[in-house]
Structure 1
């Protein structure tokens, strides 16, 4: 029987979701905890990779278990008791045998958070003011530019070089900036939200860096179209730090949980 795991993690201390040879990955901790409780080696497949230091509010994974049906609430409790404090299982539930956490995900939403001032409570989960220098960028310009990212394009200019990905074509369904003020924040956070069917390595962080260049009026809005046409990473903006990036939501057409 196949089960889905809904989890969240603070990526600060990890080199992404995926198992690494010489560095900690979230996947290894989840697999180890499940295997220990279930009494046999249990492979866990995630909905995708994440870069080192990137967080996940909504991450999905699946595993198979062939014995008696599991008490999912009890299993969730036991796994959380073993996992580090920065990894939390929100729920485990049965799904159809053929449902795949990665290949059947139809949408992924990322959010990138930027502090607009010194924030003692948000340092670990948002990029520093230095990300955009001393002067706030023009959000209206950045939103005009972000709108040009929407659609099905070759995002080679926004992908990390030397990637083994077979295709760099992705379909972006939304891309925009907004502000939000958490209760414990001093000033509003600037947030970039982007949703697509798939993402390339470093793609969101490069998008943010590129849009900030436009917001600082170093480049025109139309630069986005040029980058899409050029298909050359060296032409795009810088890649912003990982700590401000969250995998915010993963969606599936077949179910909502």
Structure 2
């Protein structure tokens, strides 16, 4: 029996992890997942994720792919309970399904969506889950400024410096703040994201909400392609990867 490729969907609380990707000096989500998969299937398995999340960032939907040799497809698909028993409570596998051998969790993704949570009243149940902002913000102005993002493709000003990327171009198709009873949720969707991009965007839009900069300044900041012109990155605790889209005609992915 030859090896076969599978997609695995999971979610995780990133508070105590040094991001998704395996690192030599820190506990990561990928390292925990690979260890669980390797133990369960009794062979070395290295997964590849749909992208990276930084330390402290959460994911309500995350996909990775992995290959398994000499194990029946039915057994792999039904392995969710067993794999979850080997994972910390902060990581949960939702689904496993077979895909073509060329399917790639990262490169086949056509869109990704993040949400950033902000709350304004002290709440012990939101620690490490949302950013406690001590002040008031003009949400209408922030939403007007967010629309400016849809007019650009080069977001060098929001990228972490010294990253190994060939281009800083991204196509943002959605960017808006929604008021909720306990705060704000910013949703942004694009074909790809740069490292630290969402947190830098939120930090810049918050400057608009505070009145420190004007709406038209956002376009000038993006045009500058200079990270130092944009706002500071907001804390990681409020950031969630919430959706990954693929072109596959497969309801199991699009659910």
Specify if TM > 0.5: yes
Q: More displaced, 212-221 or 63-72?
A: 63-72
CA distance in 1, matches of 2:58, 2:192: 17
Cα distance in 1 between the residues matched to 2:111 and 2:100: 19
- Runs of 4+ displaced beyond 4 Å: none
Question: Which residue number in structure 2 is paired with residue 169 of structure 1?
Answer: 169
Q: Which runs of 5+ in 2 are unaligned?
A: none
- In the TM superposition, what is the alpha-carbon distance from 1:91 to its structure 2 partner? 1.1
Partner of 1:16: 19
In structure 2, the residue matched to 1:65 is 68
- Ranges in structure 1 where 5+ consecutive residues have no aligned partner: 182-187
TM-score (norm 2): 0.94
Q: Verify: 1:83 aligned to 2:78, yes or no.
A: no
Number of residues paired by the alignment? 247
- Partners of 1:11 and 1:92 in 2: how far apart? 21
Give the Cα separation in 2 of the matches to 1:160 and 1:198.
15
Aligned to 1:115: 119
Normalising by structure 1, report the TM-score: 0.93
Residue pair 1:151, 1:173 contacting (<8 A) in 2 also: no
CA deviation string 1:183-211 (max 9, x = no partner): xxxxx220110000110010000000000
Which piece of structure 1 moves more, 107-116 or 161-170? 161-170
Q: Is the 8 A contact 1:142 1:214 kept in 2?
A: yes
Q: CA deviation at 1:120?
A: 2.0
Contact 1:2 1:95 in 2 (8 A): yes
Q: Distance in 2 between matches of 1:5 and 1:139?
A: 37
CA distance in 2, matches of 1:12, 1:88: 14
| 2-structure distance, mates of 1:70, 1:151 | 47
Match of 1:127 in 2: 131
SS at match of 2:189: strand
Q: Is the 8 A contact 1:114 1:126 kept in 2?
A: yes
Task: Output the aligned Cα RMSD.
Answer: 1.1
Q: Distance in 1 between matches of 2:78 and 2:111?
A: 30
Matches within 5 A, 1:1-257: 1-67=4-70, 68-130=72-134, 134=135, 136-181=136-181, 188-254=182-248, 255-257=250-252
Q: Displacement, 1:152?
A: 4.7
Preserved contact between residue 72 and residue 91 of structure 1 (Cα < 8 Å): no
For residues 17 and 198 of structure 1, what CA distance do their matches in structure 2 show? Answer: 17
2:25 and 2:54 map into 1 onto residues whose CA distance is 15
Which residue of structure 2 aligns with residue 185 of structure 1?
A: none
